[in-house]
């Protein structure tokens, strides 16, 4: 033991060389010294055996020394990594040149170098990047997977994207990520943006049923509407004049309306009239005004847009959702306007969302929609920006705040068709170029036009005759009177169009069965009338008293009970549960 200690302290001992350090260069290689010793001994000298053993032991020592050195190196590397500072993460904003990047790291922007070992194809605008202490980009991490989602307000021609916040009071412009470059984006699309609000990263797929707004380009012409001349001319006066003669209105200090209310029973053409107004007015403005009727942000009108929503559908189940939908609706309209369309907002069954407190009680909610709707409406400067059409069969229930001058102060009645109007409507659907049975043409004057006219007369007589067979409903009024309503009292444009549809189906069936053209015969139409009133979906089921009320031209408050006649006999009277 004591010898060992003495050796340790001696020159050339392990404590002298230090752990892992090679022996000093001056020290001769022990193996070489051993070889020299061996060579100096005579052959078969017994000391050679001792030297062989020594040589073996020296070789083993050298091998383990090497292994220790390798392990030490590995541990030093790990310690180095664990004690190095972390790399910062930033977002790549632009690639202004070879080997250069504009980046944002922790809110500050840098014009940085890119490590040449980073492949060019992974350097995408909008991705997250790692930077070293010198802020050089050393790695990309792909797109951030989370971040806020915003609705696009406008895709600018140069590719940048505009978003609106705070109900359109604030705008924000963002760049597109590399993956959004060239992607067709339109107003209303939902985009996920980077958490730093610099770059729009990805387009989110439309959530099904998320919006109830039907957005279409209106194509209906006035000719496709039968009857309703009064309503049509009232509308033209109500919006064509202020649109086309805005200066005259200004001179007379006349408050321009923002739209109008169409009221009347369901299926009589309110939507159709709204669509025709949208199509014809946008065309008129774009054609007759040299500047295209510049309005919001000076964009000329080049087309039309019809944004259609059904009131009850946006009376949504969770709090705040219906408000969001109304806001979306106006935002969408403004976006359409910026694209050059004259947008018409059409709200069907408007009383359900814009009703007075009394009307809204039935939906058991406090109506925050009315003030919101009014403020959105007041934000519209003129009819050249957005036209609003409300449709309702209970105009008395609409909150008067909505119907104030300067808002929706025109009420236009869309009545149930009388005999003449019903004939006009049938004329729209029974056009002369439809195949009509030859015998029918021959028996009715020989000309298709005359034959159709006389056929229409027959159908009208069948619908409007006051026979027992034609009874549909009996109503009992508050004043004690009872009244029978006949088919003619409940007919609508929708019913007439459906009758023609049924008749055509019959003639088509016959043509296919016979393998040769078979024209319409009068019986097709007359059978279709009975079927439509008996089985059609335009009239409610017998027991749906509340639904029947919506069809009546009587004020619902006046009706105490209804009973239907649909199956040839009168059903039991249903009392009206007066909720409205
Ligand atoms: P409302 O909005 O009043 O409930 P719609 O305009 O939706 O009624 O009418 C429903 C359908 O009935 C229309 O798509 C059309 O086919 C038909 N219709 C209603 N009124 C008329 C009319 N006056 N002329 C032609 N078709 C009509």
Which DSSP string do the residues of 479-517 spell out, in sequence order? TS-EEEEEHHHH--HHHHHHHHHHHHHHHHHHHHHHTS-
The reply to whether the predicted model has a pTM over 0.85 is no
Distance 270 CA to ligand 1 centre (A): 7
> Of all protein residues, whose CA lies closest to atom 11 belonging to ligand 1?
494
Atom of ligand 1 minimally distant from the CA of 225: 24
The C-alpha atoms of residue 18 and residue 68 are separated, in whole angstroms, by 13
What are the phi and psi torsion angles at 138 (to 5°)?
A: -110, -10
Reported as a single tens digit per residue, the pLDDT across 370-421 is 888 898 888 887 777 889 999 998 888 899 989 888 888 889 999 999 999 9
CATH number of 88-142: 2.40.50.140
Cα of 286 vs its chain's centroid, Å: 27
Atom of ligand 1 minimally distant from the CA of 272: 6
For a substitution probing ligand 1, which of 230, 265, 268 has the most ligand atoms within 8 Å of its CB?
Answer: 268
Residues 432-452: b if buried by 16+ CB within 10 A, e if exposed? eeeebbeebbeebeeebeebb
Task: Tell me if 227 CB under 6 Å of ligand 1.
Answer: yes
How confident is the model at residue 90, as a pLDDT? 92
How confident is the model at residue 297, as a pLDDT? 58
Please return the burial class of 146, using the count of CB atoms within 10 Å of its CB with bins 0-12, 13-18 and 19+: exposed
Homologous superfamily (CATH) for 212-413: P-loop containing nucleotide triphosphate hydrolases (3.40.50.300)
The residues near 376 (Cβ < 8 Å, ≥ 6 apart) are 326, 327, 330
Looking at the chain, the domain(s) classified CATH 2.40.50.140 span: 88-142, 149-204
CATH number of 149-204: 2.40.50.140
Reported as a single tens digit per residue, the pLDDT across 143-185 is 988 888 888 888 898 999 998 876 556 788 999 999 999 888 8
Ordered strands of the 108-113 beta sheet: 108-113, 100-105, 88-97, 127-131, 137-143
How confident is the model at residue 319, as a pLDDT? 58
Task: Tell me if 428 CB under 6 Å of ligand 1.
Answer: yes
**In contact, 388 and 374? CB cutoff 8 Å:** no
Q: Hunting for tokens 């040769």 — which residue is that?
A: 516
How confident is the model at residue 207, as a pLDDT? 58
Both tokens assigned to 500: 């023609």
Distance 463 CA to ligand 1 centre (A): 18
Task: Tell me if 276 CB under 6 Å of ligand 1.
Answer: no
Task: Tell me if 519 CB under 6 Å of ligand 1.
Answer: no
Task: Tell me if 274 CB under 6 Å of ligand 1.
Answer: no
> Of all protein residues, whose CA lies closest to atom 18 belonging to ligand 1?
493
Task: Tell me if 493 CB under 6 Å of ligand 1.
Answer: yes
Looking at the chain, the domain(s) classified CATH 3.40.50.300 span: 212-413
Task: Tell me if 347 CB under 6 Å of ligand 1.
Answer: no
In the predicted model, residues of the chain with pLDDT beneath 50 are: 1-25, 208-209, 364, 579-580
How confident is the model at residue 1, as a pLDDT? 39
Nearest to residue 521, comparing CAs of 499, 501, 536, 506?
506
């Amino acid at each position: 033991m004591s010898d060992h200690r003495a050796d340790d302290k001696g020159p050339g001992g392990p404590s002298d060389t230090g752990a892992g350090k090679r022996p000093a260069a001056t020290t001769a290689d022990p193996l070489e010294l051993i070889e020299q010793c061996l060579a100096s001994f005579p052959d078969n000298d017994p000391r050679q055996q001792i030297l062989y053993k020594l040589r073996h032991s020296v070789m083993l020592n050298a091998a383990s020394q090497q292994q220790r050195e390798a392990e030490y190196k590995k541990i030093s590397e790990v310690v180095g990594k664990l004690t190095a500072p972390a790399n910062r993460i930033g977002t790549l904003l632009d690639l202004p040149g070879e080997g250069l990047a504009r980046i944002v790291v922790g809110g500050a922007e840098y014009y940085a170098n890119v490590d040449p070992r980073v492949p060019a194809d992974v350097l995408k605008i909008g991705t997250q990047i790692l930077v070293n202490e010198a802020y050089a980009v050393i790695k990309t991490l792909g797109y951030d997977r989370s971040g806020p989602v915003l609705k696009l307000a406008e895709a600018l021609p140069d590719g940048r994207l505009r978003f609106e916040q705070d109900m359109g009071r604030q705008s924000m412009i963002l760049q597109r990520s590399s993956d959004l470059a060239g992607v067709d984006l339109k107003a209303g699309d939902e985009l996920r943006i980077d958490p730093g609000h610099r770059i729009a990263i990805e387009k989110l797929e439309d959530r099904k049923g998320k919006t109830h707004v039907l957005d279409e380009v209106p194509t209906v012409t006035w000719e496709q509407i039968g009857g309703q001349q009064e309503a049509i001319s009232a509308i033209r006066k109500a919006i064509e004049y202020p649109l086309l003669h805005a200066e005259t209105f200004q001179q007379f200090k006349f408050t321009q309306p923002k739209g109008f209310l169409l009221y009347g029973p369901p299926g009589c053409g309110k939507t159709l009239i709204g669509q025709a107004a949208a199509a014809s007015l946008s065309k008129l403005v774009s054609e007759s005004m040299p500047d295209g009727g510049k309005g919001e942000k000076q964009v000329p009108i080049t087309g039309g847009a019809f944004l259609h929503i059904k009131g009850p559908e946006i009376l949504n189940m969770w709090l705040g959702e219906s408000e969001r939908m109304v806001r979306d609706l106006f935002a969408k309209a403004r976006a359409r306007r910026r694209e050059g369309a004259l947008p018409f907002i059409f709200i069907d069954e408007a009383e359900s969302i814009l009703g007075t407190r009394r009307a809204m009680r039935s939906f058991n909610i406090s109506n925050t929609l009315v003030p919101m709707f009014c403020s959105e409406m007041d934000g519209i400067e003129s009819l050249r920006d957005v036209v609003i059409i409300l449709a309702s069969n209970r105009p008395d229930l609409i909150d008067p705040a909505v119907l104030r001058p300067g808002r929706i102060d025109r009420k236009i009645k869309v009545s149930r068709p009388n005999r003449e109007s019903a004939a006009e409507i049938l004329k729209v659907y029974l056009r002369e170029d439809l195949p009509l049975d030859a015998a029918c043409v021959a028996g009715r004057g020989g000309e298709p036009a005359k034959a159709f006219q006389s056929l229409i007369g027959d159908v009208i007589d069948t619908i409007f005759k006051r026979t027992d067979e034609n009874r549909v409903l009996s109503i009992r009024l508050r004043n004690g009177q009872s009244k029978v309503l006949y088919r003619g009292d409940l007919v609508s444009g929708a019913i007439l169009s459906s009758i023609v549809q049924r008749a055509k189906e019959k003639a088509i069936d016959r043509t296919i069965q016979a393998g040769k053209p078979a024209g319409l015969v009068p019986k097709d139409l007359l059978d279709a009338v009975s079927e439509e009133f008996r089985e059609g979906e335009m009239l409610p089921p017998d027991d749906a008293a509340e639904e029947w009320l919506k069809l009546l031209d009587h004020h619902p408050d006046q009706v105490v009970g209804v009973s239907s006649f649909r199956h040839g006999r009168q059903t039991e009277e249903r009392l009206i549960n007066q909720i409205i």
